[in-house]
Amino acid sequence: MTVAIETPSARAIAAGVKPRRYGSWYVAEHRIRGIRSYSKTLLFTAVGSPFMYLFALGVGLATLVDRHNGLGGTSYLAFVAPALIASAAVTAAVEECTYPILMGFKWNPIFFGMNAAPISGAQIVNGIFIAVLARLLPTTLIYYLVMLVFGAVPSPLGVLDIPIAVLTGMAFGLVIASYMATVEQDVGQPAFIQRFIIIPLFLFSGTFFPLTQMPIFLRWIGWISPLWHGTELGRVVSYGAVEPGWLTIVHVLYPLALCVYGWRRTQVVVTRRLNK
């Protein structure tokens, strides 16, 4: 009979298998527990916000716009709803990609704790982004259901507004996360991003009026904004807005490219900071 002698290194190698394989999910699980600590506020916002915006813009402002047939037959409610759901996803994603990243390195440096366990920097980033997705899915689903209640989605394909909004939110969030991961001194960057990047893009991304209404020298703001791409794509599926096929492809590829860039870049920066 042979007796297997377990050497310390063999034991370590066996113990490393699960963390290497599932580490990203463990981080996501941790982060989702964190999000749960403020879940009541999130639920209230997720339900309250679509009612508020759709009522104010889709009902209130729409009476004025529709009276003048400003959109050539399309109701203003149907026009604005895909923009609003995408904006809601962007707001939630940016929240989850600014403070938690700054916090993890600075105010409450849990990333260092995770990394002292068998979790790598890349897995920390994956886990955080999985948790962002986990927040965006119910947020956009609730938004979509409220849009249905308001009759804001003429086409059955409009259900695709959910993944489109999620993609838009992730594109924004991941790029911002890649910047936030570089921030060593908190001098109010999250508030700056909110006021001087998110709000202007929200206003000038063809959200409330078609981008073609903007002077030509300002339209680039929409072109670089994932919100404009997500909104336009949402309009295509939601009520069949007409645009060239190549542009629809760009609306998908551009946010996807931003996601890939933001994701990889954040991984590189986080890994470098942890390995000092």
Partner 1 sequence: MLSPVIAAHLLTKKYKDFAAVDGISFEIAPGESFGFLGPNGAGKSTTLRMVGAVSTRTSGSLEILGLDPNEHGPEIRSQLGVVPQQDNLDMELRVRDNLIVYGRYFGINTSTCAAKADELLEFAQLSDRKKSRVDDLSGGMKRRLTIARSLMNDPRVLLLDEPTTGLDPQARHILWDRLFRLKEQGTTLVLTTHYMDEAEQLCDRIVVVDKGTIMAEGAPADLIRTYSTREVLELRFGSDNNATVATQVVGIGDRIEVLPDRILIYSNDGDSDLDRILAQGFTPITTLVRRSSLEDVFLRLTGRSLIE
Residues near partner 1 (CB under 8 A): 7-9, 11-13, 15-20, 22-23, 26-27, 29-30, 33-34, 37, 108-110, 112-120, 274-276
| Least distance in angstroms from the C-beta of 165 to partner 1 | 26
CB closer to partner 1, 195 vs 272: 272
CB closer to partner 1, 20 vs 195: 20
| Least distance in angstroms from the C-beta of 140 to partner 1 | 24
Which residue in 132, 40, 124, 55 sits closest to 91, CA to CA? Answer: 132
| Phi, psi of 206, deg, nearest 5 | 70, 25
Contact assessment for residue 170 and residue 149, using Cβ atoms and an 8 Å cutoff: no
| Least distance in angstroms from the C-beta of 5 to partner 1 | 13
Three-state secondary structure string covering 105-137 = HHHCCHHHHHHHCCCCHHHHHHHHHHHHHHHHH
CB closer to partner 1, 82 vs 104: 104
Strands (E) in the chain, as ranges, are none
- What is the Cα–Cα distance from 143 to 137, expressed in whole angstroms? 10
| Least distance in angstroms from the C-beta of 97 to partner 1 | 16
CB closer to partner 1, 38 vs 192: 38
- What is the Cα–Cα distance from 256 to 254, expressed in whole angstroms? 5
| Least distance in angstroms from the C-beta of 126 to partner 1 | 13
CB closer to partner 1, 41 vs 69: 41
